[in-house]
Structure 1
Amino acid sequence: MDNREFYIPDVPPFPLENSSKIIITQLSEETSIQTWPPGFSTGNDIITHTFYEEVYLLDGSITDLSLNKTFGKGYHAWRNPQMKHGPYQADQNLGCQMLVIVRQSDYRSNV
């Protein structure tokens, strides 16, 4: 990826209207902004993956359906590879917008 000084990424307006799909704005190989429409659900399955994942909620909220807890703007998550989490559902009225950073599982050995 080329160097980028400060710029305004092409992020959709929040909350999303007339959409049933997540919109992912890729900022770099590891970094994206995910915009979830109101009521979007990841399904019923617990989520795991092979990479580190960091999430910062920018707006709206999501509910962890396993924990029955809702997290909103300003909440942060750090997930090690294979950590079980979710499933999730976005706020019924607003949806959710989040900054997501992923790093491959060998990330810590390269630091």
Structure 2
Amino acid sequence: MSKPELEFHLPDGLWIAPVGAGPGVEERVLAEDSERGCRTALVRWAPGTDTSDGGVARHDFWEEVYLVEGALHDLTLDRTFTAGMYACRPPGMPHGPWTTEDGVTMLVITYP
């Protein structure tokens, strides 16, 4: 299986809280291949979201993140990243924890 073939359309997926996500985090899956572990989603964090309780994140898949609107503050790096910025993280790369004062929306692409 692979991600579905989709021409331009308005995504009909609902904003839902991802499994294991903290309060204030929602996603809308745009395309997914659950067998291979590939997905493209819009992820939004409500104003005031803070992922400190989860500590530094690491995962076993590639992750690409494009900040569509808003800003994220990385507590480990003490840096703020704003709309238009992009990250490409290989498996195992540490990142976060994060806070967002005014909220943020991200395009997130993950694959093995």
**How far is 1:42 from its partner?**
1.4
State TM-score, norm by structure 2: 0.78
Residue 52 of structure 1 deviates from its aligned partner by 0.3
Normalising by structure 1, we get a TM-score of 0.79
Aligned to 1:39: 48
- 1:23 equivalent to 2:39? Answer no
Q: Call closer, same or farther: CA 1:88–1:72 in 2, change over 3 Å.
A: same
In the other structure, the counterpart of 2:5 is: 3
| Cα-Cα RMSD | 1.7
Unaligned stretches of 5+ in structure 2? Answer: 15-22, 33-38
Take 1:3 and 1:11, find their aligned partners in 2: how far apart are those partners?
16
Query: Whole-Å Cα distance in 2 between the matches of residues 11 and 28 of structure 1?
Result: 10
CA distance in 1 between partners of 2:75 and 2:12 (Å) = 30
Partner of 2:107: 99
Q: Percent identity?
A: 39
User: Could you say which structure has the higher strand fraction?
Assistant: 2
For these two proteins, the number of residue pairs brought into alignment is: 95
Per-residue Cα deviation, 1:78-98 (whole angstroms, up to 9, x for no partner):
0000001110111x2x20000
1 CA distance for matches of 2:50 and 2:13? 21
Listed as ranges, the gaps of 5+ residues in structure 1 are: 13-19, 105-111
Q: Deviations over 1:52-99 (max 9, x none)?
A: 000000000000000110001000000000001110111x2x200000
11 and 37 in structure 1: CA distance in 2 versus 1, 3 angstrom threshold: farther
How far did 1:21 drift? 2.1
